[in-house]
């Protein structure tokens, strides 16, 4: 399989974001030739011979785009805040996969003013947030199932993505403070923006129009 070619490559985030990305891309005139959701492939040709898609974990999308292995990417703002946006332009808020990055704790938990233990995947964001609040927080990095940490007394507080709040409620927890509003963003490699200016600005324009259509369709 030859993927080292001149095609413009867009890196997509798999999972929940992908389900909302594909209709948006289709409205922008880019559609995979194969059903991405059911395929085990990672690289997909599209109806546009000059554009291909790759499907990655969200945390890997900025890396592919930063190194120029992909020209553009679609990724959650949570990941951009956590990793920093060096080498990337962020020209467009796609308005999809909206959620909030929040602190949360067991229902009724109150800080006693002493150091608190905070479990999160987002250690950089969390360190900055508690430093700004002047709160001493000991950070514990976890990779998943954050809601378990307070139940098992591993941590007092978690910092996690909240959408409906159902996951927190199901585990006896409640959201406390919002750290950031999150949605998916379009990112572009800075060098590619110069070397492939016409192709990239066309896609940004098509996606901008598609985002506008969805905004108008929302009641």
Sites of contact with ligand AMP (CB under 6 A): 16, 76, 97, 99, 160-167
Q: Name which of 71 and 76 has its Cβ closer to ligand AMP.
A: 76
Q: Name which of 72 and 97 has its Cβ closer to ligand AMP.
A: 97
Measured CA to CA, the distance from residue 94 to residue 113 in angstroms comes to 40
Q: Name which of 16 and 202 has its Cβ closer to ligand AMP.
A: 16
CB 88 within 8 A of CB 70: no
Q: Name which of 45 and 161 has its Cβ closer to ligand AMP.
A: 161
Q: How far is the CB of 170 from ligand AMP (least distance, A)?
A: 8
CB 12 within 8 A of CB 66: no
CB 96 within 8 A of CB 22: no
The secondary structure of residue 46, as a DSSP letter, is B
Q: How far is the CB of 121 from ligand AMP (least distance, A)?
A: 9
Q: How far is the CB of 162 from ligand AMP (least distance, A)?
A: 5
Q: Of 23, 40, 39, nearest to 31 (Cα)?
A: 23
Q: How far is the CB of 50 from ligand AMP (least distance, A)?
A: 30
- The distance of Cα 61 from the centroid of its chain, to the nearest Å, equals 9
Q: Is 209 helix (H, G, I), strand (E, B) or coil?
A: helix
């Amino acid at each position: 399989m030859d993927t080292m070619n001149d095609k413009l490559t867009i890196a997509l985030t798999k999972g929940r974001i992908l389900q909302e990305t594909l209709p948006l891309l289709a409205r922008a005139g880019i559609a995979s030739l194969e059903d991405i959701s059911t395929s085990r492939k990672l690289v997909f040709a599209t109806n546009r011979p000059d554009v291909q898609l790759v499907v990655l974990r969200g945390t890997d999308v900025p890396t592919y785009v930063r190194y120029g292995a992909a020209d553009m990417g679609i990724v959650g703002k949570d990941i951009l805040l956590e990793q920093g946006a060096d080498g990337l332009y962020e020209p467009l808020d796609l308005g999809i996969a909206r959620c909030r990055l929040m602190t949360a704790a067991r229902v009724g938990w109150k800080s006693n003013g002493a150091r608190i233990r905070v479990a999160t995947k987002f250690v950089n964001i969390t360190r900055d947030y508690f430093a700004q609040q002047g709160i001493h927080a000991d950070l514990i990095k976890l990779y998943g199932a954050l809601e378990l940490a307070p139940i098992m007394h591993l941590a007092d507080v978690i910092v996690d993505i909240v959408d409906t709040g159902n996951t927190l409620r199901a585990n006896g927890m409640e959201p406390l403070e919002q750290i950031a509003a999150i949605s998916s963003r379009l990112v572009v490699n800075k060098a590619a923006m110069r070397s492939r200016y016409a192709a990239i600005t066309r896609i940004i324009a098509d996606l901008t129009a598609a985002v506008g259509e969805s905004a108008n369709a929302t009641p």
